[in-house]
Amino acid sequence: MDVIELRLTGQIHGGKNQILHTRSGHRYPNKLFAQWSKAAIAEIIRQKPLWTTLCTPYLEDATLHWQFIYTPSDRRRRDVPAILDAVFHVLERADVVSDDAIIKNLTFTTLPPDKDNAGMTIRIEG
pLDDT tens across 15-51, in order? 767 776 788 888 777 888 889 999 999 999 998 765 6
Mean of all residue pLDDT scores within the chain: 85
Q: Which helix (H) or strand (E) holds 57?
A: helix 57-60
pLDDT tens across 64-95, in order? 899 999 999 999 988 899 999 999 999 999 98
Nearest to residue 32, comparing CAs of 45, 13, 8?
A: 13
pTM: 0.84
DSSP string for 71-119: E-SSS----HHHHHHHHHHHHHHTTS-S-GGG--EEEEEEPPP-GGG-E
Q: What's the confidence (pLDDT) of residue 107? A: 96
Domain count, the chain: 1
Domain of residue 17, residue span = 3-125
Pairing of strands 27-29, 3-9: unpaired
Residue 100: partners with Cβ closer than 8 Å, 6 or more residues away = 88, 89, 91, 92
What CATH number is given to the structural domain containing 32? 3.30.1330.70
